């Protein structure tokens, strides 16, 4: 019972940061695609900041919770519904797809700075490191950076892989895309057996962002 109650407390802290991190990245992608001339996100009801429009019942709900509670993952690991986009509507399909893809890591930093400001404000209002709001704000920064680091891995269809495919010569990019069916297993394998690949950069970025708003540990 202690294990379950501890997990429920941790889940209450991680849920909001996780939801905002994975849904705002898709919302920003939709906005960028729309500004670049593609109305596909609007046609699909995705041109909104409402997280519920981007959340997927399985990958934003069931899978992260089961992995966290049952498999004892240290964080909520999942995703929102991918943003539908049609590059044929872009004036510069390759360049605009690059901008569309870069919107995801940019959103991670935006979310991180938002939570960092909340973290700073909470301390200024007298909350301590033991309070729910400060823990939620801290993990908001950390999760945003974890997902940004994961997303920038050079593995299609992750953002880093997509960026490489767009920048590499056509045939080389096609060869790189051959790993796409195995990307999920590669990421889970790294997460289980070499978590420092994620955690090291995420820790550094988290401390840097908190330092920018005046929080130092």
Residue 6's pLDDT is what?
A: 87
pLDDT at residue 28 greater than cutoff 70: yes
The pTM (predicted TM-score) of the whole model is 0.93
Residue 160's pLDDT is what?
A: 95
Q: Are residues 151 and 124 in contact, defined by beta-carbon separation less than 8 angstroms?
A: no
C-alpha distances in Å from residue 175, one per residue of 73, 95, 190:
32, 20, 22
Residue 215's pLDDT is what?
A: 86
Q: Which residues contact 196 (CB under 8 A, 6 or more apart)?
A: none
C-alpha distances in Å from residue 65, one per residue of 74, 132, 158:
11, 19, 22
φ, ψ dihedrals at 191, nearest 5°: -60, -35
Residue 1's pLDDT is what?
A: 53
Tens digit of pLDDT for each residue in 46-87? 999 999 999 999 999 999 999 999 888 889 999 999 999 999
Q: How confident is the model at residue 205 (pLDDT cuts 50, 70, 90)?
A: very high
Q: For the chain, give me the number of helices (H) and strands (E)? A: 10, 0
pLDDT at residue 188 greater than cutoff 90: no
What does the domain layout of the chain look like in residue ranges?
Answer: 2-212
Q: To which residue do tokens 């690949």 refer?
A: 197
Q: To which residue do tokens 């920038």 refer?
A: 152
Segment (H or E) for 49: none
Indicate the length of the chain as a whole number.
217
Tens digit of pLDDT for each residue in 161-186? 999 999 999 899 889 898 999 998 89
């Amino acid at each position: 019972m202690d294990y379950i109650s501890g997990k429920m407390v941790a889940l209450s802290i991680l849920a909001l940061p996780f939801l905002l991190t994975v849904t705002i990245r898709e919302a920003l992608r939709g906005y960028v695609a729309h500004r670049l001339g593609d109305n596909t996100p609007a046609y699909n009801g995705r041109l909104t900041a409402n997280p519920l429009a981007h959340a997927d019942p399985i990958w934003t709900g069931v899978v992260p919770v089961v992995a966290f509670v049952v498999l004892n993952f240290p964080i909520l690991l999942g995703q929102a519904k991918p943003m539908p986009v049609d590059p044929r509507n872009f004036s510069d399909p390759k360049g605009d797809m690059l901008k569309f893809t870069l919107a995801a890591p940019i959103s991670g930093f935006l979310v991180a700075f938002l939570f960092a400001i909340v973290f700073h404000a909470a301390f200024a209002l007298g909350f301590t490191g033991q309070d729910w709001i400060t823990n939620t704000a801290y993990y908001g920064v950390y999760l945003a950076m974890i997902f940004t680091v994961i997303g920038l891995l050079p593995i299609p269809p992750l953002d880093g892989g997509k960026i490489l495919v767009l920048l590499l010569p056509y045939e080389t990019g096609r060869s790189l895309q051959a790993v796409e069916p195995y990307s999920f297993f590669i990421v889970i394998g790294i997460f289980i057996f070499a978590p420092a690949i994620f955690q090291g950069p995420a820790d550094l970025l988290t401390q840097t962002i908190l330092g920018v708003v005046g929080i130092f540990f």
